[in-house]
Amino acid sequence: MSKIAMKTPLVEMDGDEMTRIIWKMIKDILLLPYIDLKTEYYDLGLVHRNETNDQVTFDSAEATKKYGVAVKCATITPNAARMPEYNLKEMWKSPNGTIRAILDGTVFRTPILVKGITPYIPTWTKPITIARHAYGDVYKNTEMQISKKGKAELVFTDEDGNETRELIHEFKGSGIIQGIHNRDDSISSFARACFNFALDTKQDLWFATKDTISKKYDHRFKDIFQEIYEKEYKARFEEAGIEYFYTLIDDAVARVIRSEGGYIWACKNYDGDVMSDMVATAYGSLAMMTSVLVSPDGVYEYEAAHGTVQRHYYKHLKGEKTSTNSVATIFAWSGALRKRGELDGLSELEAFADKLERATIKTIEDGVMTGDLAALSTLENKKSVDTETFLREVNIRLEQML
């Protein structure tokens, strides 16, 4: 059998620890035997980030802009403990943060559903994708603690020196104040990324804020979404048979719980932080959550939502076999390959991506899974296997499908 050809390279961002080990196994066992894999390789492992003074992260993001599709392995975001462990010159910033800032993207997280792992909300038969706005609000706040009587005001000084003031509160005693902001251009990018992703995946888009209470701040989000929708997307949504739906955040959470899933839920920064953890947990496992960063101009970066699974890596280093779940990383590859196939008109590559995902799900539904899933699965004939055995079992099913 001849290998499936590619046209444009994928931007390949390698990473750290256990996911770096899994990365290579996925390529060796599931991709290289079938695809004439074209990638432009960037090593975002911490060792190489440190050697290049993190330049490699910037270069990989620029390459993503150039080619349009990237696939990324989980990477270490250094903390104090990593400084001596990797003999770091600096506590390098989160690669995901750097890449997100360069691509100006929105992150979409979607759970992978399999038979035998039942969501805690039994009506959720389809995935709910959370889109989180990743700029501003409480994440870029300014806070003050007040210890005596006095007046707190919001002051805006324009470039000509004119001041606009709003009273926040006349303090009779001690208290606290917080200043937050957002930008129209960032909210607009977020809105466009959400509308594009909804069209791309043919799913309804929900958006919710607290605009009844926050009549200027949250209301601005609602207005920007509505304006962009009317002007740029309404006709295309109608043509695709999908819907844009705005509601109050309280109403949204109630509807989400009663829903069957199958839509995108756009969330402001804080709502997205909190709700994505709730939704991920309710679907069963962080190791079954995919993540894609979409920029407003249509650039895509696929990854798993989990980290580098450090604890398993240390076991691996001691020579022990681990049972680390590779599903979200496999889906990062299949997502990127499918998108590359779509953009380059390579139907064979798209079909391969579909089969790779089906083979992965079939393996789990046949009862072969890693330990984290075996602990959750209600299947009777389930068997917990190590990392590599799972990938070989996927390959057996993939070969049959090809």
Chain positions contacting Mg ion, by CB under 5 A: 273
- Residues 362 to 381 in contact with ligand NAP, rule: CB under 6 A: 372
Is 309 among the residues that bind ligand NAP (CB under 6 A)? yes
Identify the CA nearest to 358 among candidates 387, 382, 338. 338
Looking at the Cβ atoms of 26 and 309, the one nearer to Mg ion is 309
Using CB distances below 5 to 8 A depending on partner kind, what does residue 76 bind out of Mg ion, ligand NAP, none? ligand NAP
Task: Quote the CA–CA distance of 387 and 367 in Å, as a whole number.
Answer: 15
Say which DSSP state 97 is in.
Answer: H
Identify the CA nearest to 132 among candidates 159, 158, 100. 100
Q: How far is the CB of 57 from ligand NAP (least distance, A)?
A: 11
Is 74 among the residues that bind ligand NAP (CB under 6 A)? yes
| Single-letter amino acid code for the residue at 115 | K
Looking at the Cβ atoms of 30 and 286, the one nearer to ligand NAP is 286
Say which DSSP state 232 is in.
Answer: I
* Nearest-CB residue for ligand NAP: 307
Identify the CA nearest to 73 among candidates 291, 369, 395, 355. 291
* Nearest-CB residue for Mg ion: 273
Looking at the Cβ atoms of 74 and 256, the one nearer to ligand NAP is 74
Of 60, 75, 196, 203, which lies in the binding site for ligand NAP, with binding defined by CB under 6 A? 75
Per-residue burial over 66-89, b = 16 or more CB atoms within 10 Å of its CB, e = otherwise:
ebbbbbbbbbbbbeeebeeebeee
Task: Quote the CA–CA distance of 150 and 170 in Å, as a whole number.
Answer: 6
Task: Quote the CA–CA distance of 158 and 182 in Å, as a whole number.
Answer: 16
Looking at the Cβ atoms of 136 and 262, the one nearer to Mg ion is 136
User: Around Cβ 225, how many Cβ atoms within 10 Å?
Assistant: 24
Q: How far is the CB of 283 from ligand NAP (least distance, A)?
A: 14
Looking at the Cβ atoms of 273 and 344, the one nearer to Mg ion is 273
User: Around Cβ 352, how many Cβ atoms within 10 Å?
Assistant: 23
Task: Quote the CA–CA distance of 70 and 339 in Å, as a whole number.
Answer: 10
Is 325 among the residues that bind ligand NAP (CB under 6 A)? yes
Of 310, 321, 375, 383, which lies in the binding site for ligand NAP, with binding defined by CB under 6 A? 310
Looking at the Cβ atoms of 130 and 373, the one nearer to Mg ion is 130
Using CB distances below 5 to 8 A depending on partner kind, what does residue 224 bind out of ligand NAP, Mg ion, none? none
Question: The tokens 């309280």 sit on which residue?
Answer: 250
Q: Which stretch binds ligand NAP (CB under 6 A): 70-78, 195-203, 209-217, 262-270?
A: 70-78
Looking at the Cβ atoms of 19 and 269, the one nearer to ligand NAP is 19
Q: Which stretch binds ligand NAP (CB under 6 A): 72-80, 132-140, 160-168, 353-361?
A: 72-80
Q: How far is the CB of 17 from ligand NAP (least distance, A)?
A: 7
Strands 163-171 and 150-157, by their bridges, are antiparallel
Name the CA dihedral angle for 363, 365, 369, 375, rounded to a multiple of 10 degrees. Answer: 180
Of 96, 196, 209, 269, which lies in the binding site for ligand NAP, with binding defined by CB under 6 A? 96
- Tokens representing 133? 């706005």
Using CB distances below 5 to 8 A depending on partner kind, what does residue 365 bind out of Mg ion, ligand NAP, none? none
What lies within 8 Å, CB to CB, of 336 at 6+ separation is 10, 69, 70, 71, 300, 302
Using CB distances below 5 to 8 A depending on partner kind, what does residue 394 bind out of Mg ion, ligand NAP, none? none
Of 306, 339, 355, 362, which lies in the binding site for ligand NAP, with binding defined by CB under 6 A? 306
Give the residues across from 383 on adjacent strands: 368
Is 308 among the residues that bind ligand NAP (CB under 6 A)? yes
246 backbone dihedrals φ, ψ, rounded to 5°? -105, 140
User: Around Cβ 151, how many Cβ atoms within 10 Å?
Assistant: 9
Using CB distances below 5 to 8 A depending on partner kind, what does residue 273 bind out of ligand NAP, Mg ion, none? Mg ion
The residues that touch ligand NAP, with contacts defined as CB under 6 A, are 74-77, 96, 286-287, 303, 306-311, 324-325, 372
